[in-house]
Amino acid sequence: MNFILAGHGNIAVEMKNSIEMIVGEYPNLHAITFQLGDGIETLKDKYLKIINPPTDQPFIIITDIFSGSPYNAAAILAIQLENIEVITGLSLPLCLALLHLDYASISFEEAFEQLNDIQSDFIKSFKKISKDIAEDEEF
């Protein structure tokens, strides 16, 4: 599976650096920036330089926010090219989970369902966890 990280400013490049700090170099992981003055067409061109159609290799584009310019440009390409899926909510836990799914045996849809199943592992509240532990210790 091929991955493209995209977001406002340099968030995607720094996310890629963080991922590779944890799991090592990942040759199918790419990052693009969205800088002030860039538009949808600029973003589409950045995506297409990586995707380089016509290829049937699957790509998952992970963007920072739903309906932002990086997402919108990726969604346009996903409409045009069947081998692209777009996911929003760029975060380190999400990316690490996506990188470790077995895409040889699951579809895009199944991968997204698995992410939904484990998303509660991504967001934790220290105070809630501490309260739960304290309540458990009282019994």
> Which residues are tagged catalytic?
8
Tokens of 30: 């790419």
SS3 (DSSP) at 59: strand
CA distances to 63, 72, 89, 112, 115 from 66, rounded to whole Å, are: 7, 8, 7, 15, 16
